[in-house]
Structure 1
Amino acid sequence: MQNVTLIGIDLGKHAFHLHGQDKAGKAVFRRKVSRKQLFEFFATFQACTVVMEACAGAHYMARKLVAFGHDVKLISPQFVRPFVKSNKNDFVDAEAICEAASRPSMRFVTSKTESQQTLSALHRVRDALVKDKVRTTNQMHGFLLEFGVALPVGNAVVTRLPALLAEHSLPPRIIAILERLHAHLKYLAEQIDEVEKELNRQLADDAIAQRLLTIPGVGPITASLLSSELGDGKQYRCGRDFAAAVGLVPRQYSTGGRSNLLGISKRGDRNVRRLLVQCAHAFMLHLHSYSGAVADWVRSMLARRHSNVVTCALANKFARIAWAIASRDAVFELRT
Structure 2
Amino acid sequence: MTLITTIGLDTAKQVFQLHGVDNEGTTILRRQLRRSEVLKFFRKIPSCVVGLEACGGAHYWAREIKALGHEVRLIPPAYVKPYVKRGKNDAADAEAICEAVGRPSMRFVPLKTVGQQATAMLLKARDLLVRQRTQTINALRGHLTELGITTSRGVGKVDDLAAIVRDEDDARLPPLARIALLPLTHQIEAYTSEIVKLEKHMIRESRQDATLSRLTSIPGVGPITASSIAAFVPDPKAFKSGRHFAAWIGLTPKSNSTGGKTRLGRISKMGNPVLRSLLVVGASAVIQHARRGAKVSAWLTELLRRRPYKVAAIALANKMARIVWALLVRGGQFHSTANETMAA
Instruction: Name the TM-score, length of structure 1 as normaliser.
Output: 0.94
For residues 183-222 of structure 1, the aligned pairs below 5 Å read: 183-222=186-225
Partners of 1:98 and 1:77 lie apart in 2 by 13
Aligned AA (1:123): L
Corresponding residue to 1:333 among 293, 316, 335: 335
Shift of 1:255: 1.7
Task: Name the CA shift for 1:315/1:197 in 2 (closer, same or farther; >3 Å).
Answer: same
Say yes or no: does 1:237 pair with 2:237.
Answer: no
Q: Could you tell me whether the CA contact under 8 Å between 1:136 and 1:181 is conserved in 2? A: yes
Q: 1:23 to 1:115 in 2, by over 3 A?
A: same
CA distance in 1, matches of 2:154, 2:252: 33
| 1:283 equivalenced with 2:271 (yes/no) | no
Q: Which one is further off, 197-206 or 71-80?
A: 197-206
State the partner residue of 2:18: 18
The residue that corresponds to 2:318 in the other structure is: 316
Query: How far apart are 1:205 and its partner, in Å?
Result: 4.0
Distance 2:278 2:190 in 1: 25
Structure 1: segments with no counterpart, 5+ residues = none
TM-superposition CA deviations, 1:73-125 (whole Å, max 9, x none):
00101111111112222111111111111211111100111111011111111
**Corresponding residue for residue 83 of structure 1:** 83
Provide the C-alpha distance between the structure 2 equivalents of 1:51 and 1:157, rounded to a whole number of angstroms: 50
Deviations 1:123-169 (A, max 9, x none): 11101111111111111111111112122222323245324643333
Q: Percent identity?
A: 42
Looking at structure 2, the residues matched to 18 and 29 of structure 1 have their Cα atoms a distance apart, in angstroms, of: 7
**What do residues 159-214 of structure 1 show as CA deviations (whole Å, max 9, x unaligned)?**
45324643333211101122111111111111111111222333344332121111
Aligned to 2:263: 260
2:96 maps to 1:96: yes
Letter in 1 for 2:332: A
Deviation of 1:290 after TM superposition, in Å, equals 3.5
What is the alpha-carbon distance in structure 2 between the residues aligned to residue 188 and residue 66 of structure 1?
39
Amino acid across the alignment from 1:255: T
- For residue 300 of structure 1, report the CA deviation from its aligned partner: 1.5
SS at match of 2:306: coil
CA distance in structure 2 between the aligned counterparts of 1:38 and 1:120, rounded to whole angstroms:
26
The correspondence for 1:296, drawn from 295, 298, 313, is: 298
8 A contact 2:100–2:106 mirrored in 1: yes
- Give the aligned partner of residue 132 of structure 2: 132
Q: Which runs of 4+ in 1 moved over 6 A?
A: none
Q: Residue 8 of structure 1 contacts residue 51 of structure 1 at CA under 8 Å; is this kept in 2? A: yes
Q: Is the 8 A contact 2:251 2:269 kept in 1?
A: yes
Distance (whole Å) between structure 2 residues aligned to residue 194 and residue 41 of structure 1: 43
**Distance in 2 (alpha carbons) for counterparts of 1:265 and 1:289:** 31
Q: Distance in 1 between matches of 2:209 and 2:35?
A: 33
Cα distance between partner residues in 2 of 1:98 and 1:163: 62
The aligned amino acid for 1:120 is A
Aligned-pair Cα RMSD in Å: 1.6
- Cα offset for 1:2? 4.9
Cα distance in structure 2, aligned partners of 1:316 and 1:272: 11
Instruction: Give the Cα separation in 2 of the matches to 1:236 and 1:149.
Output: 52
User: Secondary structure at 1:117's aligned position in 2?
Assistant: helix
Q: Which amino acid in 1 is paired with 2:24? A: A
